């Protein structure tokens, strides 16, 4: 039987492209849970939002977090809902808007 390809969300792809322009930091979780390790790393290094934190849990798994003004979020959530984050709106490529001239006669 042929396997169907998973449909890629345009909104998520757009969010992933935006997150490519955000500074990234890599660390290993060590004894802490990944989210705790990310929070400690942000506090120690004094990282300013927006930033992407990649926490290596083990040799196969890396958790991705987005550090925003509002707090720490999962990167997948941010990819899908990037329009909710003001710091990412600046990084978005400006959409060309054409003005339509209407005469009032």
pLDDT per residue, tens digit, the chain (105 aa), is 677 877 778 888 999 999 999 999 999 998 999 999 999 999 999 999 999 999 999 999 999 999 999 999 999 999 999 999 988 887 655 544 444 455 555
- SS3 assignment, position 42: helix
66 Cβ contact list (under 8 Å, min separation 6): 19, 22, 50, 51, 52, 53, 72, 73, 74, 75, 77, 78, 85
Cα 101 from Cα 83, distance rounded (Å)? 29
CA atoms within 13 A on the CB side of 44: 8
pTM tops 0.85: no
Side-chain half-sphere of 58: how many Cα atoms within 13 Å?
1
Q: What is the predicted pLDDT for the residue at 31?
A: 92
The per-residue pLDDT for 21 is 92
> Quick one: tokens of 43?
């506090």
Q: Which H or E run includes 45?
A: helix 34-45
């Amino acid at each position: 039987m042929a396997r169907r390809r998973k449909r890629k969300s345009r909104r998520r792809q757009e969010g992933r492209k935006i997150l490519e322009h955000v500074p990234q930091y890599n660390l290993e979780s060590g004894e802490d849970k990944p989210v705790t390790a990310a929070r400690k790393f942000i506090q120690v290094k004094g990282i300013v939002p927006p930033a992407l934190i990649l926490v290596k849990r083990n040799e196969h798994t890396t958790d991705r977090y987005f550090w925003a003004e509002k707090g720490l979020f999962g990167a997948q959530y941010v990819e899908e809902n990037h329009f909710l984050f003001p710091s990412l709106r600046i990084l978005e490529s400006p959409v060309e808007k054409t003005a339509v001239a209407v005469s009032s006669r």
